[in-house]
A = this chain, B = another copy of it.
Amino acid sequence: MTKLEEKTLHSEEIFSGKIISLHLQDVELPNGKHAKREIIKHPGAVAILAITDDNKIVMVEQYRKALERTIVEIPAGKLEKDEEPALCARRELEEETGYECDSLELLTSFYTSPGFADEIVHVYIAKGLTKKENAADLDEDEFVELEELTLEEAEQYVKEQKIYDAKTIFAVQYLQLQEALKNK
Contacts and interface: CB of A to CB of B under 8 A. Distances in A.
Most chain-B Cβ atoms within 10 A of its Cβ — which of A118, A121, A169? A169
Interface residues of A, number: 73
Contact of A67 (B8, B114, B165): B114
A106 to B, nearest CB: 12
B173 A66 contact: no
Interface string A57-91: 00001111111001101001010000000000000
The dominant DSSP class at the A interface is: mixed
Interface stretch (A30-38, A96-104, A128-136): A30-38
- Number of copies of this chain in the oligomer? 2
Given A19-B38, A20-B38, A63 B117 contact: no
Interface string A39-54: 1101001000000000
A174 B29 CA distance: 34
Interface in A145-181: 145, 158, 161, 164-167, 169-170, 173-174, 176-177, 180-181
Contacts of A36: 17-18
A181 B29 CA distance: 44
A39 B115 CA distance: 17
A66 to B, nearest CB: 5
8 contacts: A5-B63, A15-B22, A40-B116, A71-B111, A110-B169, A166-B166, A170-B170, A173-B173
Interface of A: 1, 4-6, 8, 14-15, 17-20, 22, 24-25, 27, 29-31, 33, 35-40, 42, 45, 61-67, 70-71, 73, 76, 78, 108-119, 121, 140-141, 143-145, 158, 161, 164-167, 169-170, 173-174, 176-177, 180-181, 183-184
